[in-house]
Amino acid sequence: MLEGLRVLACGARDAVKLCATLLERAGAAVDFAATDSMDYDVIVISSDVDDVADWKASGTHIVCDITATGPQDSRAGQPFTDAQVQAMSGLMDTTGFAHGAPACIGIALTEISAALYAASAIASAVRVKRRRGIAQNIDVTLMGCAASALTTFLPAAFARRTAGRVGNRHPACAPWNAYRTRDGWILICTSTEEQWRKLRQEARVPQLDDARFATLADRVRQADALDALMETWTTTLSTGDCTRICERIGVAAGPIVGIGELHREPNFRMRHPEAARAIEADGIGADTYRRVSVFAMSALSEAVAVLKPETRESIDAAPLAGVKVIEIGQYTTAPLVGKHLAALGAQVVKIEPPEGEVARSWAPGQGGTSYFFALNNTDKETIALDLKQEDDRAYLRTLLEDADVLVENLRPGALAKLGFTRETLGAINPRLVYCSISGFGIASAYPSRPAFDTVIQAMGGLMDLTRSEGAPVKIGASGADILGGQAALFAIVARLASSTRDAGAFIEISMQDVAAWCALFAAGKAESRGQALACLDGHIWTEGDVSDAQRARCITQPKAVAARLMEHAVPVMRVDELLEDGDFLADILSAARDANGVFWPVLKLPYRLTKTPARVRAVPGAPRAVRRAPPAPAPAPVPEDRPA
């Protein structure tokens, strides 16, 4: 992949260290201190924290600068911490229980996200340099990464609504929460009417058949009553029994796993036995996370690849110009990958079921399409296929014949059951890069268990590290989904940047692996200090010492004033307030059009390449139905010979 790449990482931010770790995992040689004897291809810095040399002016290196805010932000150059960025971006206000204060996410989410996006942007720039000889600079901002994680909360803001904290719920789906069991807690997550029907039938609680729960929108509005009725069922069962029932009927569910017990979690122990033994013997240290990889790569099949003829690209073409991607995904993970591959210049063809992806219908939106879907699916061609039908599977095979990448987040084995095994894909296209994203991985202790973001957060250690009033709570944003998608994006782009790519590849992403990698990195660091203080109109986040007098004064002041009066303090922004914030409007929010010329609010990318920029341009319309030739008419019957 990135073998032969020489990287210098000389920034103090966690994002710099983690980005270097990812590049190293992909084959690059990394130094953390400059040497006279080595000439570097890539240099990763954090100029708002460190006094670093002006590498950007050299013109000979790929230089990636990871900072808190962008150059158009009025606060540019200030060395904000991850927690301060969480507060200023709205992320913190989405995390915690509705009745409590905003909760700081227990991992450095914006630093980790910046590391993953920076690694993908660097791999893109490496591809450009290897193919066209162009070196360029890259800017990555923590604020941009934070905003990119708000796709489940920004739609309400676009509709001029306030999206408050939902604890362990989902703002657009129900039932979706942590429920008490006979011996603990279980996360149960539903997103479709079929899942709700099966769960209702299994629970056998008559009130769940009420008309007030008839539609998804009804269930979201009646979430308090719905959750109370759900617990009349779950409290009769053990956590294990409830989990097994949900697995049997295809509903995502799982227990909350403590970070100190992660090495005993069956799937983690199966997939990472060396890491589990090390934690059991020595506990979690600063480098324990390095024993867990965020992706696995192997040969697609034994078929011999025939290289695709290279097309001549213009000097300023996007990094992935000429790359064709097939996406079979829904919700967040695979769509996030496809969105960024499209922004980087790839032709992305998204396969949807005939009725369209479920997330299209989530409120709010416009013209029959949700803002959520629009945010996650920009710049794609969309095609409707029923993959249960042979004609539609044949059409997909045709699409795959000249594709470079296939990315999907179906349940493990689902694509194979449709006839698209790794061996079959290798026979169709031996040079294909096939990326499978799933909750627990292909080789798993839970081969038939579905998984959603909240379940993975619970079973990957993230919820245990994130606490609201002492209780474990999920990251408000879909942290496990987003981080899993980012890991897949990096692995795919790194493979496309390989200078020796002569065969297909299979990339496996387990969202639990990625969550555990993040949780172990956080657990191996010293805890950061800070607290949210109540103000007249919300909260501020401070990392300084706070006296009782200061705490009392905060309550009488608006948060903008209180933040100015206290050292190391910033306001905790609500997501809807971002749309009135000049910095957010200037540096993060953008607009795209659909095929009818209608404008949609979208987000700028959190990474900026100076010479071959990635761009967000368009929102797709309804999926296009594939036109097929009508069946040939049946031959006319031959008259029978009859006696005269």
Give the CATH number, domain containing residue 192. Answer: 3.30.1540.10
pLDDT value at residue 637 = 52
Q: For residues 90 and 541, what is the distance between their CA atoms, to the nearest angstrom? A: 12
Q: For residues 588 and 573, what is the distance between their CA atoms, to the nearest angstrom? A: 15
pLDDT bucket at 643, cuts 50 / 70 / 90: very low
CA distances from 434 to 296, 334, 405, 422, 634 (A): 12, 12, 6, 8, 41
Averaged pLDDT, 94-100: 93
pLDDT value at residue 642 = 38
Query: What H or E segment, with its residue span, contains residue 432?
Result: none
The two tokens of residue 68 are 């808190």
Q: State the burial class of residue 352 (Cβ atoms within 10 Å of its Cβ: 0-12, 13-18, 19+).
A: buried
Q: For residues 425 and 299, what is the distance between their CA atoms, to the nearest angstrom? A: 12
The two tokens of residue 131 are 């193919």
pLDDT above 80 for 254:
yes
Query: What H or E segment, with its residue span, contains residue 243?
Result: helix 239-249
Q: For residues 257 and 265, what is the distance between their CA atoms, to the nearest angstrom? A: 7
Q: State the burial class of residue 388 (Cβ atoms within 10 Å of its Cβ: 0-12, 13-18, 19+).
A: exposed
Share of the chain above pLDDT 90, in %: 84
Q: For residues 297 and 435, what is the distance between their CA atoms, to the nearest angstrom? A: 9
The two tokens of residue 132 are 């066209």
Averaged pLDDT, 591-605: 97
pLDDT bucket at 528, cuts 50 / 70 / 90: confident
pTM of the model: 0.93
pLDDT value at residue 185 = 86
pLDDT above 80 for 34:
no
Averaged pLDDT, 508-512: 98
pLDDT value at residue 363 = 85
pLDDT bucket at 638, cuts 50 / 70 / 90: very low
Residue 180 lies in a domain: yes
Scanning the structure block, which residue is given the tokens 């960025």?
85
Averaged pLDDT, 494-517: 91
pLDDT value at residue 227 = 97
pLDDT value at residue 635 = 56
pLDDT value at residue 162 = 84
**C-alpha dihedral over 288, 290, 295, 299, to 10 degrees?**
-120
H-type alpha helices, 434-509: 453-459, 462-465, 479-496
pLDDT value at residue 580 = 95
Residues in the chain: 644
pLDDT value at residue 628 = 60
**Residue-number span of the structural domain to which 243 is assigned:** 176-250
Averaged pLDDT, 556-564: 96
Position 472, amino acid: P
Averaged pLDDT, 395-424: 96
pLDDT bucket at 514, cuts 50 / 70 / 90: very high
Residue 182 lies in a domain: yes
Averaged pLDDT, 477-497: 97
pLDDT tens digits, one per residue of 151-187: 999 999 999 998 778 899 987 789 999 999 998 889 9
pLDDT value at residue 644 = 33
Q: For residues 608 and 118, what is the distance between their CA atoms, to the nearest angstrom? A: 10
Which has the closest alpha carbon to 202: 216, 221, 184, 188?
A: 188
Residue 446 lies in a domain: no
pLDDT value at residue 639 = 44
Q: How many CB atoms lie within 10 A of CB 475?
A: 27
pLDDT above 90 for 2:
yes
Angle at 555 between CA 552 and CA 556, to 5 degrees: 100
Averaged pLDDT, 578-602: 96
Averaged pLDDT, 339-349: 98
Name the average pLDDT for the chain.
93
Residue 229 lies in a domain: yes
Catalytic residues: 481
pLDDT value at residue 640 = 43
Which has the closest alpha carbon to 614: 468, 501, 500, 489?
A: 489
Residue 549, C-beta contacts closer than 8 angstroms, at least 6 positions apart: none
pLDDT bucket at 597, cuts 50 / 70 / 90: very high
Averaged pLDDT, 441-465: 93
Q: State the burial class of residue 591 (Cβ atoms within 10 Å of its Cβ: 0-12, 13-18, 19+).
A: exposed
Strands 381-384 and 347-352: parallel
Contact 328, 411 (CB under 8 A): no
Residue 216 lies in a domain: yes
Which has the closest alpha carbon to 367: 611, 588, 619?
A: 619
Residue 486 lies in a domain: no
CA distances from 392 to 377, 417, 499, 541, 580 (A): 22, 15, 35, 53, 46
Residue 299 lies in a domain: no
How distant is the alpha carbon of residue 338 from its chain centre?
11
Averaged pLDDT, 432-447: 95
pLDDT above 50 for 621:
yes
Residue 342, C-beta contacts closer than 8 angstroms, at least 6 positions apart: 325, 348, 378, 379, 380
Q: For residues 384 and 390, what is the distance between their CA atoms, to the nearest angstrom? A: 14
Residue 427 three-state SS? helix
Residue 194 lies in a domain: yes
Contact 611, 136 (CB under 8 A): yes
pLDDT value at residue 33 = 84
Q: For residues 512 and 619, what is the distance between their CA atoms, to the nearest angstrom? A: 31
Q: Where are the beta strands (DSSP E) in 345-422?
A: 347-352, 365-366, 369-370, 381-384, 405-408
Structural domain count, the chain: 1
pLDDT bucket at 529, cuts 50 / 70 / 90: confident
